[in-house]
């Protein structure tokens, strides 16, 4: 029953996405292709910005240093000064991947690329991507808690009282659900609204909505990274 439920959730989509058929299995080719494109853009931008570092940054180097400082401040705020440096790479990777994925859906006309069957869309337009990112975040904060406290980490489930055990356990299931469906729902809704407006009024009117979509896409990346940091900070927090 659980397997069937997970399979049904993984099929949540709008439009005809592109799949690869390998034996009896369907692989989300759409997600893999667009994810590789997003990772490639991040890698190229990083290489161009940091291949010739200068004492006084300018251009792309200035941008990457700004992003790095932004992520460091976010990590310090959510995790604390003692541990935050260990988690800057993780939070930075999460933030950049979600941010570039979201913006790729708003700026790249994926659906205009002709394929033999199906269509392309932003990676975060697919529930499988957002669930994977949410589960990765869950693994990260469990690892953080166990690394610092050992098996004593599980005492948090009976604090401040033992009868809260079921609620505290349920919370660990709702965290990835909340992370994944919030991101997926917002990005999907934005693309649907823009798509409908372009179909009805193809000129001028969709532009402000697209600009608003860029803003909300950036906010969603910030929210995801902030919550990931908050969960890690909560896992390593000392309870007295």
Q: What is the pLDDT of residues 69-120, one digit of tens each?
A: 999 999 999 998 888 899 999 999 999 999 999 988 777 766 667 777 767 7
pLDDT at 203: 63
pLDDT at 61: 85
| Secondary structure string (H, E, C) spanning 73-87 | HHHHHHHCCCCHHHH
Asked if residue 121 lies in contact with residue 30, where contact means CB atoms within 8 angstroms, the answer is yes
pLDDT in tens, 195-238: 676 666 666 656 777 777 788 888 999 999 999 999 999 888 86
pLDDT at 52: 82
pLDDT at 4: 52
pLDDT in tens, 15-74: 566 777 777 777 777 888 889 999 999 999 989 888 887 877 777 888 888 999 999 999
Q: Enter the pTM of the model.
A: 0.84
The number of C-alpha atoms within 13 Å of 201 and in the hemisphere containing its C-beta is: 9
pLDDT at 17: 67
pLDDT at 125: 84
pLDDT in tens, 150-183: 888 888 877 777 777 888 788 888 888 889 988 8
Rounded distance, CA 104 to CA 55, Å?
A: 32
| 238 secondary structure, DSSP code | P
**For residue 226, what are the CA distances in angstroms to 15, 90, 91, 151?**
30, 12, 8, 26
Among residues 191, 33, 208, 44, which one has the least CA distance to residue 103? 191
Instruction: Give the max Cα distance, the chain.
Output: 60
CB contact set of 96 (below 8 Å; sequence gap of 6+): 42, 67
Torsion angles phi and psi, residue 138, rounded to 5: -60, -45
Among residues 147, 198, 142, which one has the least CA distance to residue 173? 142
């Amino acid at each position: 029953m659980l397997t069937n439920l997970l399979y049904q959730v993984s099929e949540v989509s709008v439009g005809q996405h592109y799949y690869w058929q390998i034996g009896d299995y369907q692989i989300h080719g759409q997600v893999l292709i667009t994810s590789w494109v997003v990772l490639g853009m991040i890698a190229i931008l990083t290489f161009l910005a940091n291949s010739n570092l200068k004492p006084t940054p300018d251009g792309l180097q200035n941008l990457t240093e700004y992003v790095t400082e932004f992520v460091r401040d976010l990590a310090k705020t959510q995790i604390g000064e003692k541990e935050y440096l260990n988690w800057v790479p993780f939070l930075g990777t999460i933030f950049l991947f979600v941010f570039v994925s979201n913006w790729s859906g708003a700026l790249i006309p994926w659906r205009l690329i002709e394929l033999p069957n199906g269509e392309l869309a932003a990676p975060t337009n697919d529930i499988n991507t957002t669930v994977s990112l949410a589960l990765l975040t869950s693994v990260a904060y469990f690892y953080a808690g166990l690394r610092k406290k050992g098996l004593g980490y599980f005492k948090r489930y009976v604090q401040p009282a033992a009868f809260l055990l079921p609620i505290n356990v349920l919370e660990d299931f709702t965290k990835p659900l909340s992370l994944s469906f919030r991101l997926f729902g917002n990005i999907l809704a934005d693309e649907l609204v823009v798509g409908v407006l372009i179909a009805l009024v193809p000129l001028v009117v969709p532009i402000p909505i697209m600009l608003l979509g860029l803003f909300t896409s950036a906010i969603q990346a910030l929210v995801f990274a902030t919550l990931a940091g908050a969960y890690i900070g909560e896992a390593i927090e000392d309870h007295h």
